[in-house]
Amino acid sequence: LTVMGRYAFYALAVWQAHLAAYHIIQKVRQHLVRALAKMRMDKLRSLSRGDIEKRITDECQSLEPLIAHHGTDIINGLLMPLFMVGLLFYIDWRLALIALMPLPLAMTAQIWMMRGFAERQQKYNQIVAHLHQAQMEFLRTIGVMKLFAVDADSYLELSRTLQSHHKIVTGYTQTMVSAWVTFVTLAQISLILVLPVAIMLANTGQLTLIDLVMVACVSVGLLKPWLDLTQVFAQIQQSFIAIDRILPLCGEPESHPFHYPSSLMLLECRDLVVARDPKVAVLQQVNLKAYPGQRITIEGASGVGKSTLLASLLGELEPTSGAWCINGQSITDIDDESRSHYLASVDQRVVFFSGSLRDNLILTKRHVEEHEIWQLLTWFGLKPLVQSLPQQLDCPIGEACRLFSGGEMQRLAIIRAAVTKAPILILDEATAHLDALSEQSVFEALRHYAPAQIQLIISHRASQIQQVDRRLVLLNGQLEEKADE
């Protein structure tokens, strides 16, 4: 009955621990997703997709053995050897001391075996994270790789990461094998030491036959629960390292005292400096003022910092000094939700989400009249194409992507940004896939749809854009008015 009761309570404890583990993991993942949604844009952009995915999936899942298994294992591993040793002391204290003799040697072997484990595990996790990212990058570009007949060995990042992973696993295994064999042997020789002495005591009449049988049964695997605990503690260290990687994503969002007001009066760039490192400044003391209704083009050589300038406005990177200001208020003091009311942006990388075409066009503004969407589609020259779709606006976006060209998908992305009616619209090579005539019709439609909007435009054909209020050139890290041609 005692044995049956022990296993019944143990099973109940494991069941409850599993329920608690799944509930906690679900809550942690929900919190991580909310934290990522509220994270500053520049910090979010510094995290790779593979690293975020690994933390939310793998690292969170590593909490399951810590909560569901290790808690009950630790309790069982601590109490059972104490109970067994206590029983040996009750039978004969000399046999109990002999049974405990291997313990100091086993603990010494364990300490020697586990030295530097945390550092090794942290390094291993970093390599696994890099490997995960390299694999995702390789799979994402596999079409290009196949086109140029490039295999995994030729993809240096993946190849180097695989080599690093193999090297650390091989070295760790070679170090651990001898130490682990020594530890396991020492931890399970209690029976070999106790049994000859117990037989001698039984022959001299100091131990009964029943006590001899009890001693033999208790000595078998006497220290095994403590042996199991060493494995548990190694896994717990892995879980703690995973927790250390999860915690940075769980920080509370920064407080922003300034919220979106009723209207935009002035967009200003004040002494903005953005540097790649302390010695190289991409942007140097950039100043700019823009008022509602102004269309401003920004030109410059490739790599001069045009996209960097607008990325600092969007909050995708933090300036070294200076700031963008809206109505005299630094955008760093504005919460992300308010910033989304001010700013809409389109670049040459078109991204759409699962769902219908309608869902993607009104992604950030749910209350849009259907006739307004059709009007925009007409102005952008897309109405006949959308009408030809099987379900028109309710057509799945995947079907539309197959039927539309790159330039047409870009126009859809611009419509999505226009629908928000944000006071500031940023177009960073958003018309790169359009011919000159289509590009001009897009800008005419934008001017007609949102005449009071500030439009900041980067385009290789900026000189061909009409109805421009200011033409600027980014040269040597500073904005200058473009000279009349």
Give residue for tokens 């029983």.
87
The lowest-confidence range among 85-89, 363-367, 417-421 is 363-367
Q: What is the pLDDT of residues 309-346, one digit of tens each?
A: 888 888 778 888 888 888 888 887 777 777 778 888 88
Please state the pTM of the whole predicted model. 0.60
**What would the pLDDT profile of 377-416 be if each residue is shown by its tens digit?**
888 888 888 888 777 877 777 666 676 777 788 888 888 8
- pLDDT (tens digit, 9 = 90+) per residue, 187-199? 667 777 888 888 8
Report d(CA 166, CA 207) in Å as an integer.
56
pLDDT in tens, 301-314: 887 788 888 888 88
- With residue 351 as reference, give the H or E element that holds it: none
Q: Is residue 98 within 8 Å of residue 197, measured between CB atoms?
A: yes
CA distance linking residue 393 with residue 382, whole number of Å: 12
Residue with tokens 């240096």: 156
Q: How many helices (H) and strands (E) does the chain have?
A: 22, 10
Measuring CA to CA, how many Å separate 5 from each of 8, 9, 75?
5, 6, 16
The sign one gets for the Cα dihedral 364, 366, 372, 375 is positive
Residue 98 pLDDT more than 60? yes
User: Which H helix or E strand runs over 481?
Assistant: strand 478-481
Higher pLDDT, 156 or 470: 470
Q: Mind listing the domains of the chain with CATH numbers? A: 2-250 (1.20.1560.10), 267-481 (3.40.50.300)
Average pLDDT in the 234-255 region?
66
